[in-house]
Amino acid sequence: MADNAWWASALSEAVNNGKPLAVVCNGEELALFRDRQGQAFALEDRCPHRRVPLSLGCVVESGIQCGYHGWTFDGASGACTAIPNLHANERVPARYAARAYSVAERNGFVHVWLGEDEPNESVPAATYLPEGREYTGAATVSIQHEEYLAAMLDGPHCLISFDAVRMTDFFLGDPCLKDNHLVLDRGAVWSTKVLPPQFVVDYPLIVRTSVPVCGGDIRVDLLTEEETPLCTVFIASGANRRGTTSLCWRGFLHRSEGGVAPLRWRAARRAQRPPFRVHSHVDGEALAALLVAPSRDLDRLRDQSLIPVRAAV
Amino acid sequence: MHTVSTNDTVAGQRSKRPSDWTPVNYDLHDTWFPVSHSRDVSSRPIRRIIHSQPYFLWRENGISQAAEFHPSRLAALRHASSAFTGGSGSYPVIERYGYIWAWYGNPDHADIQLLPHIPFLPLDGNIPGYTQRTVRFDASSALSVENLIDLTHADFLHANTIGDGISESDVVEVEWTSETVTRTRMVTQKSVAPVMRWVGGIRAKYQDFRAVLHIHLRSNVCISYPRFRPGYDVPNLQPFLPVGRHRSRCDVTFNTTAAPSPFRYLMPRINYIIQPQDNSVVRPQNQRYLDESDRRDLHSRFDAPGTRYRYQMEQLAKRQRRGDFSYGTDAEPGRDITTLLGMDG
Ligand code: FES
Ligand SMILES: [Fe+2]
């Protein structure tokens, strides 16, 4: 079910027309690359000739040339367009092809359609509309993908931190379902304030996490108590091998910072220090200590969304 | 998952198709394996592995020994020995061509006649140490042999060392028996390989080249005779020892003793450059050949030697699965291959 979806699988700037980029997205091994015109493509990272990863090859005009015997595969169709040393009158059989995936690039992310059905229009990163300077990165974290999504609701402090901000686990309500995402607010305080969070009457900050019921697009917003956005982070996640999770992210500061932020925050922003950090190492102890709370809704919704599929069988 | 590679089969014919190539699981019995260079075996035992089976090697009064257990424990553990040693704990072993050859299979079938003939190595193994090297492959031995038999990858993977470039004519022939596959390649007027030019001192622009590769299927013993004119002969033995389903080792000998220095010394070491290049592809390949798949490999006509190798291996494996370990009448592993290798031409 989650297979029939667009997955943001890489940052645009990581995909180029020289060396293919190997990624694992929702368990699928892919080789991503661009042609000279900048168009991005995705092929299965497996040469149909002798099963060598195509990402070991190099990008040529019309696609990827495998590094082992030099067969060339077209980026859009996957068709094998050339086998070296064939005579001029010899043709590559039409059925010779690598598996090709539909690609859509939007707002700095390369999306790949993983599924049998015709791709739809709703690309995850379409909702991510950066202003000004962006802070980006990629990592593979040693936590299973569904657990990563659950922890994003139960305890995002294990996975991401905002500069000079302390997140609490006081959930401001229950998760609500919006566009197939569970959205949850929690209170947060400036860590520069002397007063510990338990003595704060009303939290000056909100951390809002939005976690997909299916797919991998996560959004984390830091807001003022008036819901003025300060910082937005879009994290594309997906299952990698051995229960790890691939991540790539982009985030930015909103211009509407206002006068609410403490001096330390504002000074660090002027110095262009990153306003957030997506953890590439997850603290197992902290993770294990997380109580299962709002993520229960995620499990429940996933079970429900499976019903139509089962009924169809 | 939709598969574009081999889905043009009419439904119902599927069962008639040959099964997928899963060489990683082959375990062919009743053959001699060159399990070690002679010079690596002394009175102090070493341990080598064939198909996950331990081979302890050492010398007693200069005579090579091979056993399932360390000699210090042999007496105590003999009762636990396997069918590979017929309950004695000791494998049949023989020393030839600078190698210790150990028998893998039913020890009653061990026969010196089944030892391959290697015309370019001295029977008594008297050859300088610089000709011998050990390399390891992170893949099963059959995939490593496939890599060696395959000619078309040199242009891509080894472009900087033995890369081919353009030639006037390039003819490849394959012949086989139930136990061997032989590939012969004849190239005329090919641009001189970088290693020949820079190290071999060949100043000519073009050279003719004839290379014969003779493969013993059971043991993965690859006997290779490349001849370059102008240039040198680089006869070599590359025996891929099947350590297990995921790893193999190769104790090679490059008999360059007739070539001038420094080529003579450097050529045997070229494996240290070529092997990591080959390993970079066979290593990720291996896990994809463990289980049978519906997605069959695609072939080009350049793969003819390789597909023949696959087919012959499959026939042999089938025969052994039926319990037939005998050598066919067409197979004489020990026959003289001087002419086959083109050494007398
Ligand atoms: S494995 Fe890709 S071209 Fe041969
Ligand atoms: Fe090679």
DSSP states along A17-32: SSSPEEEEETTEEEEE
Which residues, other chains included, contact B301 with Cβ-Cβ below 8 Å and sequence gap of 6+? none
Contact B286, B23 (CB under 8 A): no
As a whole number of angstroms, the distance between CA A18 and CA A55 comes to 11
Task: Please report, as a single letter, which amino acid is at residue B262.
Answer: P
Q: Do B5 and A97 touch (CB under 8 A)?
A: yes
Average pLDDT value over all residues in chain B: 90
CATH class of B2-10+132-341: alpha beta
Give how far A70 is from chain B: nearest CA, Å. 6
Q: Do B152 and A96 touch (CB under 8 A)?
A: no
As a whole number of angstroms, the distance between CA B244 and CA B221 comes to 16
Query: What is the best residue among A43, A44, A50 to mutate for testing ligand 1's pocket, by most ligand atoms within 8 Å of CB?
Result: A50
Average pLDDT value over all residues in chain A: 92
B161 alpha carbon, closest ligand: 2
**Residue B316: in which H helix or E strand, if any?**
helix B304-321
For residue A171, list its beta bridge partners.
A186
Q: What is the pLDDT of residues A230-287, one digit of tens each?
A: 999 999 999 999 999 999 999 999 987 656 788 888 899 889 999 999 999 999 999 9
Q: What is the pLDDT of residues A148-180, one digit of tens each?
A: 999 999 999 999 999 999 999 999 999 999 999
Q: Do B153 and A69 touch (CB under 8 A)?
A: yes
Whether A137 and chain B come into contact, CB under 8 Å, resolves to no
Task: Please report, as a single letter, which amino acid is at residue A239.
Answer: A
As a whole number of angstroms, the distance between CA B345 and CA B340 comes to 10
- Locate A56 and state its tokens: 């070991």
Q: Is the CB of A52 under 6 A from ligand 1?
A: yes
As a whole number of angstroms, the distance between CA B159 and CA B230 comes to 21
**Residue A248: in which H helix or E strand, if any?**
strand A245-253
Q: Taking CB atoms and an 8 Å cut-off, how many pairs form between chains A and B?
A: 67
Q: Whose CA is nearest to atom 4 of ligand 1?
A: A69
Q: How many residues does chain A have?
A: 313
Q: What is the mean pLDDT of residues B131-153?
A: 94
Give how far B232 is from chain A: nearest CA, Å. 27
Query: What is the best residue among A45, A49, A64, A65 to mutate for testing ligand 1's pocket, by most ligand atoms within 8 Å of CB?
Result: A49
Give how far A83 is from chain B: nearest CA, Å. 8
Q: Is the CB of A68 under 6 A from ligand 1?
A: yes
Query: What is the best residue among A66, A73, A81, A96 to mutate for testing ligand 1's pocket, by most ligand atoms within 8 Å of CB?
Result: A66
CA-to-CA separations, B345 to B210, B288, B338, B339, B341, in angstroms, rounded: 11, 42, 9, 8, 9
Degrees to nearest 5, angle at CA A174 with A170 and A179: 130
> Can you list the domains of chain A with their CATH numbers?
5-124 (2.102.10.10), 128-305 (3.30.530)
Q: Which residues of A206-229 are buried (b: 16+ CB within 10 A; e: fewer)?
A: bbbbbbbbbbbbbbbbbbbeeeeb
Question: Would strands A109-114 and A160-162 be described as parallel, antiparallel, or unpaired?
Answer: unpaired
Q: Do B155 and A67 touch (CB under 8 A)?
A: no
Q: What is the pLDDT of residues B25-48, one digit of tens each?
A: 889 999 999 999 999 999 999 999
Beta strands in chain B (DSSP E): 31-37, 46-50, 53-60, 63-67, 93-96, 99-104, 132-137, 169-176, 180-191, 206-216, 221-229, 236-242, 248-254
Query: Which member of B6, B150, B302 has the closest CB to residue A85?
Result: B302
- Looking at residue A40, the DSSP 8-state letter turns out to be E
| CA count, 13 A, side-chain hemisphere, A301 | 20
In chain B, CATH 3.90.380.10 covers 2-10+132-341
Most confident of the following: A4-8, A212-216, B65-69:
B65-69
In chain B, CATH 2.102.10.10 covers 27-128
**How much is the pLDDT for A261?**
85
Confidence of residue A115 (pLDDT cuts 50, 70, 90): confident
Report long-range pairs for A164-168 (Cβ below 8 Å, ≥24 apart): A164/A190, A164/A191, A164/A192, A164/A262, A164/A264, A164/A265, A164/A268, A165/A189, A165/A190, A165/A191, A165/A205, A165/A207, A165/A222, A166/A190, A166/A191, A166/A197, A167/A207, A168/A197, A168/A203
Q: Is the CB of A47 under 6 A from ligand 1?
A: yes
**Residue A301: in which H helix or E strand, if any?**
helix A295-312
Question: Would strands B93-96 and B221-229 be described as parallel, antiparallel, or unpaired?
Answer: unpaired
Contact B225, B235 (CB under 8 A): yes
Sheet of strand A5-11: strand arrangement: A5-11, A109-114, A103-106
**How much is the pLDDT for B1?**
28
Beta strands in A148-226 (DSSP E): 160-162, 165-171, 176-178, 181-190, 205-212, 217-224
Q: Do A52 and B281 touch (CB under 8 A)?
A: yes
Residue B222: closest CA among B314, B118, B99: B118
Which residues, other chains included, contact B184 with Cβ-Cβ below 8 Å and sequence gap of 6+? B172, B173, B174, B175, B210, B211, B212, B213, B342
Q: What is the pLDDT of residues B161-189, one digit of tens each?
A: 666 566 677 789 999 999 999 999 998 88
Contact A10, A21 (CB under 8 A): yes
**How much is the pLDDT for A62?**
76
Q: What is the pLDDT of residues B95-136, one digit of tens each?
A: 999 999 999 999 999 999 999 999 999 999 999 999 999 999
**How much is the pLDDT for A313?**
35
**How much is the pLDDT for A259?**
67
Counting from 1 in the atom list of ligand 1, the atom nearest the Cα of A54 is 2
Which residues, other chains included, contact A20 with Cβ-Cβ below 8 Å and sequence gap of 6+? A31, A32, A33, A54, A55, A57, A58, A59, A64
Contact A100, A1 (CB under 8 A): no
pTM of the model: 0.91
CA-to-CA separations, B104 to A29, A184, B65, B219, B291, in angstroms, rounded: 39, 65, 14, 9, 25
Confidence of residue B338 (pLDDT cuts 50, 70, 90): very high
As a whole number of angstroms, the distance between CA A221 and CA A183 comes to 11
Q: How many residues does chain B have?
A: 345
Residue B7 has pLDDT above 80, yes or no: no
As a whole number of angstroms, the distance between CA B97 and CA B121 comes to 6
As a whole number of angstroms, the distance between CA B136 and CA A126 comes to 49
Q: Which of residues 77-136 of A touch B (CB under 8 A)?
A: 78, 80, 83-86, 95-99, 116
Residue A200 has pLDDT above 90, yes or no: no
Q: Do B297 and A50 touch (CB under 8 A)?
A: yes
As a whole number of angstroms, the distance between CA A68 and CA B277 comes to 10
Contact B145, B217 (CB under 8 A): no
A67 alpha carbon, closest ligand: 1
Q: Do B302 and A67 touch (CB under 8 A)?
A: no
Counting from 1 in the atom list of ligand 1, the atom nearest the Cα of A66 is 2
Give how far A11 is from chain B: nearest CA, Å. 25
Residue B307 has pLDDT above 70, yes or no: yes
What distance lies between CA A162 and its chain's CA centroid? Answer: 18
Residue B9 has pLDDT above 50, yes or no: no
**Residue B149: in which H helix or E strand, if any?**
helix B141-149
- Locate A100 and state its tokens: 């090709």
As a whole number of angstroms, the distance between CA A298 and CA A304 comes to 10
Evaluate whether the domain defined by B27-128 bears CATH number 3.30.420.10.
Answer: no
